[in-house]
């Protein structure tokens, strides 16, 4: 199923919110209630539901269990994907801890670093390997996604290693612009740019 990136982003948020909502408010939810949780319009929720072929009951709304299951079938595809974290510094450890606590079919199975004190140890519960063995471990552990938290001056080189190893998706936490082939899905997360954007708009208010 082909979906716009923003729709997939909302589906992931829907599922997390629905899990919490079910424990607090019951087994069904209407589009306007789900919209309120995400601060979007009910029309947007209904458009997303139409895109994934999911319908609700006009009186009761959407079955939360059925909707969670439907979203899971689309986002997870029925199997677990393995992730590597390149760069196990403070940010890499924080991201790893956050992902490992989340209810997701994405599993961090390896970290890579150049620090001798981290190499061949466990860092926040995952084995940390030297960058030099990255290509072999990516293939051995069937890793398809990488989280890039290396220093900016190493970002391009490490990205090249990841691409040569067959990585299909990268979440880039560095501020470096990366050129990747069209078949590789790249998502940039620039913390400073995001904060500066927030700073700009808060000053306007």
Query: Cα–Cα distances in Å, from 129 out to 119, 120, 137, 142, 205?
Result: 5, 6, 8, 15, 47
Burial (0-12, 13-18, 19+ Cβ within 10 Å), 35: middle
Q: In what order do the strands lie in the sheet with 126-130?
A: 121-123, 126-130, 106-113, 81-86, 143-148, 169-172, 185-188
- Looking at residue 20, its pLDDT comes to 86
Count Cα neighbours of 37 within 13 Å in the Cβ-side half-sphere. Answer: 20
- Which pair of tokens denotes residue 14? 């829907």
Provide the pLDDT for residue 153.
96
Domains in the chain, CATH or no CATH each: 5-75 (1.10.10.10), 81-193 (3.40.50.720)
Interval 13-40: pLDDT, tens: 999 999 988 877 779 999 999 999 999 9
Residues of the chain with pLDDT under 70: none
Whole-prediction pTM value? 0.86
For 102-117, b/e burial (b = at least 16 CB within 10 A) is eebebebbbbbbeeee
Interacting residues of 24 by C-beta distance below 8 A, sequence separation 6+: none
Q: How far apart (Å, rounded) are the C-alpha atoms in residues 113 and 89?
A: 8
Give the Cα separation of 137 and 131 in Å (integer). Answer: 10
Q: How far apart are CA 98 and CA 16, in angstroms?
A: 14
Q: If residue 83 lies in a helix (H) or strand (E), which one and from where to where?
A: strand 81-86
């Amino acid at each position: 199923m082909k979906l716009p990136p923003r729709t997939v982003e909302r589906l992931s948020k829907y599922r997390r919110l629905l899990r919490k909502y079910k424990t607090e408010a019951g087994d069904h939810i209407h589009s306007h209630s789900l919209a309120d949780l995400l601060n979007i319009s009910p029309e947007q929720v209904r458009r997303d539901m139409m895109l994934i072929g999911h319908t609700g009951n006009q009186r009761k709304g959407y079955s939360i269990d059925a909707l969670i299951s439907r979203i899971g079938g689309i986002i997870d595809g029925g199997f677990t994907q393995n992730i590597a974290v390149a760069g196990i510094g403070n940010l890499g450890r924080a991201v790893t801890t956050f992902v490992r606590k989340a209810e997701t079919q994405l599993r961090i199975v390896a970290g890579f670093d150049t620090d001798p004190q981290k190499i061949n140890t466990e860092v926040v519960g995952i084995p940390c390997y030297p960058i030099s063995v990255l290509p072999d471990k990516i293939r051995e552990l069937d890793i398809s996604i990488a989280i890039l938290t290396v220093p900016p001056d190493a970002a391009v080189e490490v990205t090249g290693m990841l691409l040569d190893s067959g990585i299909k998706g990268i979440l880039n936490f560095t501020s470096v612009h990366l050129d990747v082939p069209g078949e590789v899905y790249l998502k940039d997360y620039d913390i400073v740019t995001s904060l500066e954007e927030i700073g700009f708009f808060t000053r306007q208010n």
